[in-house]
Amino acid sequence: MLVFRSIGLFVLAALAEIGGAWLVWQGVREHRGWIWIGAGVIALGLYGFVATLQPDANFGRILAAYGGVFVAGSLAWGVVADGYRPDRFDVIGALICLAGVAVIMYAPRG
């Protein structure tokens, strides 16, 4: 059950961080204004809190594993929000990152 909670928290963290960064991007690069930028900053702050809810207490492990989630989530966000078409190397790279997440977070430890 802890694994499912952890995965859910990683997904929530990805939505907050990637969504926040996208909102800032839209506010600045697409000239949508300060409301978008402010919403992005708030979402990025929420990401920081979500990461603290992981069942594992090791900051370095959580952030290292989340890096792999961020890579895959960023590509997925690009597909949904911006119409980005990843190529096979993007997909292979994302799968390698997610395999790394699984090893870092969920490998049995003694």
Q: 55 vs 10, 15, 58, 63, CA distance in Å?
A: 11, 19, 9, 13
pLDDT tens for the chain, 110 residues long, are 899 999 999 999 999 999 999 999 999 999 999 999 999 999 999 999 999 999 998 999 999 999 999 999 999 999 999 999 999 999 999 999 999 999 999 999 87
Query: Is 85 in a helix, a strand, or coil?
Result: coil
Q: What's the whole-model pTM score?
A: 0.90
